[in-house]
C-alpha cells in the first residue's frame, strides 16, 4: 500500500534531521571557539614549567635572555637581574604577577605605570622589582631580586638641631 505524499514526508524528515545535526554540531564547535577566545582575552597566563628561581614565576611562552641576565646565590643571599622576552600584552603580564607572586609568598607593594610598568614585591628578607617594557608586539620582563637592607637600631643619638630662621 502506498501512502500519498509519504515519499515527500520522508524527504522532509531526512532534511530536518540533517539540519538539526548540522546545527547541533556546529553550535558546539562555535561554543568551543568562543570559550577559547575568552581565555585568550581574559589574560589568564600560566607559569612556565622552569625558571631560573623556582619562587619567581615567569609566564609560559617567555624566552630567557641569558646574555642580558645574571644571578648570584651564596649563603641564602640571592641577587639577580633576569630578562625574558615574549609576545604577550603587558596588561596580561601585570595581572599574571598580581595573581602568581602571592602564591610564592611575595607581598604586592605597588605598581607604577608610565608606558613601562614597574611592580614592587617583598617578603621577609628579599625585595623583587619586575619591570615590563613593551617593544612593539614583544614584552621584555626584567626581574630584579635582592636582599632587603638591614635597618640598624639607632643608639639614642639626638637629631642635629638646625638653624632657627624664625628670628
Picking from 130, 37, 48, 139, the residue whose alpha carbon sits closest to that of residue 87 is: 139
**Residue 103 pLDDT:** 96
Q: How many CB atoms lie within 10 A of CB 6?
A: 10
Contact 131, 142 (CB under 8 A): yes
CB-based burial, 130-167: b 16+ in 10 Å, e otherwise: bbbbbeeeebbbbbbbeeeeeeeeeeeeeeeeeeeeee
Q: Grid cell 500500500 — which residue?
A: 1
pLDDT in tens, 8-60: 666 665 565 454 444 444 444 333 333 333 334 345 777 775 567 899 999 99
Which CATH fold topology does 63-147 show? Alpha-D-Glucose-1,6-Bisphosphate; Chain A, domain 4 (3.30.530)
Domains of the chain, by residue range, sit at 7-35, 63-147
pTM: 0.64
117-166 tens-digit pLDDT = 999 999 999 999 999 999 999 999 999 999 998 777 767 667 677 776 66
Amino acid at each position: 500500500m502506498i501512502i500519498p505524499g509519504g515519499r515527500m514526508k520522508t524527504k522532509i524528515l531526512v532534511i530536518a534531521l540533517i539540519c538539526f545535526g548540522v546545527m547541533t554540531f556546529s553550535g558546539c564547535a562555535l561554543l568551543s571557539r568562543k570559550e577559547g577566545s575568552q581565555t585568550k582575552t581574559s589574560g589568564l597566563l600560566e607559569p612556565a614549567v622552569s625558571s631560573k628561581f623556582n619562587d619567581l614565576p615567569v609566564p609560559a611562552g617567555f624566552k630567557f635572555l641569558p646574555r642580558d641576565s645574571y644571578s648570584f646565590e651564596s649563603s641564602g643571599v640571592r641577587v639577580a637581574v633576569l630578562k625574558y622576552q615574549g609576545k604577550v600584552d603587558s596588561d596580561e603580564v601585570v595581572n599574571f604577577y598580581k595573581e602568581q607572586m602571592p602564591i610564592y609568598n611575595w607581598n604586592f607593594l605597588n605598581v607604577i605605570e608610565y608606558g613601562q610598568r614597574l611592580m614592587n614585591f617583598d617578603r621577609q628578607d628579599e625585595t623583587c622589582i619586575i619591570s615590563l617594557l613593551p617593544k612593539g608586539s614583544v614584552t621584555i620582563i626584567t626581574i630584579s631580586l635582592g636582599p632587603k637592607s638591614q635597618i640598624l637600631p639607632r643608639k639614642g643619638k639626638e637629631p642635629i638641631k638646625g638653624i632657627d630662621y624664625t628670628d
